[in-house]
Structure 1
Amino acid sequence: MDEVTLARALAAAREAAAAAGEIIRHYWQRGVTIELKDDQTPVTIADREAELAIRAILQQALPEAGIYGEEFGRSGDERGGLWLIDPLDGTKSFVRRTPFFSTQIALQLDGELVLGVSSAPVYGETMWASQGQGAWLDGQPVRVASTDEVTAASISTGNIKSLALGPKWPRLGQLVADCNRIRGYGDFCHYHLLARGSLDLVIESDVSILDVAALSVIVSEAGGVFTDLDGGQLNLDSRSVLAGTPALHAKALRRLHG
Structure 2
Amino acid sequence: MERSRYLQVALEAAHAAAEVIRHYYRDGVEVSIKADATPVTRADVESEEVIRRAISTAFPDHGFYGEETGSHALDAEYLWLVDPIDGTRSFVRGYPFFSTQIALMHRGEIVVGVSSAPAFEQIAWAERGQGAVLDGHACRISQVHALEDAAVSSGNLRTLAGGPRWADWAQVVQRVARIRGYGDFYHYHLLAAGRIDAVLESDVNILDIAALSLIVTEAGGVFTDLDGGPVTLETTSVLAGNPRIYAAVAELMRVPG
- Contact kept? 1:65, 1:78, Cα under 8 Å: no
Q: SS at the partner of 2:25?
A: helix
Alignment of 1:223 onto 2:223: no
**Identity over aligned pairs, percent:** 54
Q: Say whether 1:32 aligns with 2:40.
A: no
TM-score, with normalisation over the residues of structure 2? 0.96
Structure 2 CA distance, aligned partners of 1:223 and 1:64? 32
Contact 2:32 2:39 in 1 (8 A): yes
Provide the rounded CA distance (Å) in 2 between the counterparts of 1:63 and 1:184.
39
Extract unaligned runs of 5+ from structure 1: none
Equivalent position of 1:176 in the other structure: 173
- Paired positions, count: 254
Contact 2:26 2:92 in 1 (8 A): no
SS in 1 for 2:4: helix
Deviations 1:25-66 (A, max 9, x none): 000153300100011110000000000000000111222210
Q: TM-score, normalised by structure 1?
A: 0.96
Structure 1, residues 165-219: CA drift from partner, whole Å, max 9, x if none? 1111111101110100000000000000000000000000000110000000000
1:50 corresponds in structure 2 to: 47
Report if the CA contact (8 A) 1:64-1:78 is conserved.
no
Q: How far off its partner does 1:135 sit?
A: 0.3
> What pairs up with 1:131-142 in 2 under 5 angstroms?
131-142=128-139
- Could you tell me how far 1:79 is from its partner in structure 2? 3.2
- In the alignment, which residue of structure 1 is the partner of 2:94? 97
Q: Distance in 2 between matches of 1:56 and 1:80?
A: 19
Deviation of residue 76 (structure 1)? 3.7
Q: Which residue of 1 aligns with 2:186?
A: 189
CA contact (8 A) 2:26 2:94 kept: no
2:198 equivalent to 1:201: yes
**Is 1:110 equivalent to 2:107 in the alignment?**
yes
Contact 1:105 1:116 in 2 (8 A): yes
Distance 2:196 2:179 in 1: 10
Structure 2 unaligned regions, length at least 5: none
Q: Name the counterpart of 2:238.
A: 241
Moved more, 74-83 or 130-139: 74-83
CA distance in 2, matches of 1:153, 1:106: 29
